[in-house]
């Protein structure tokens, strides 16, 4: 995808994002899902096929990517 095609993407951010802007944004095309850091909109993007994105969402909904719980006293 060329830079001009990237400029035409419509980006969305989760409604759960805070005011600080520390979130990812996604943009969908007919064949792929683009992911970027909301604080660096001109930076690098990850691109996934729809099937890959769907598999990730299933895992996220099932809790497979939860952050580990730090032992008490570790921050």
Give the pLDDT band (50/70/90) at residue 72.
confident
End-to-end CA distance of the chain: 42
What pLDDT score was predicted for residue 73?
62
Average pLDDT (26-38) is 95
Residues 6+ apart with CB under 8 A from 33: 26, 27, 47, 48, 49, 50, 52, 53
Average pLDDT (18-46) is 89
Backbone angles phi, psi at 25, to 5 degrees: -120, 150
DSSP summary character for residue 8: T
Q: Bridge-partner residues for 47, per DSSP?
A: 34
What pLDDT score was predicted for residue 12?
93
Instruction: Decide if 25 contacts 38 (C-beta within 8 A).
Output: yes
Average pLDDT (41-52) is 95
Task: Give percent above pLDDT 70 in the chain.
Answer: 81
């Amino acid at each position: 995808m060329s830079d001009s095609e990237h400029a035409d993407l419509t980006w969305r951010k989760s409604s759960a994002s805070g005011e600080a802007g520390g979130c990812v944004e996604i943009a969908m095309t007919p064949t792929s899902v683009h992911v970027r850091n909301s604080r660096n909109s001109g930076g690098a993007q990850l691109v996934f096929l729809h099937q890959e994105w769907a598999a990730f969402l299933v895992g996220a909904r099932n809790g497979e990517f939860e952050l580990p719980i730090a032992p008490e006293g570790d921050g």
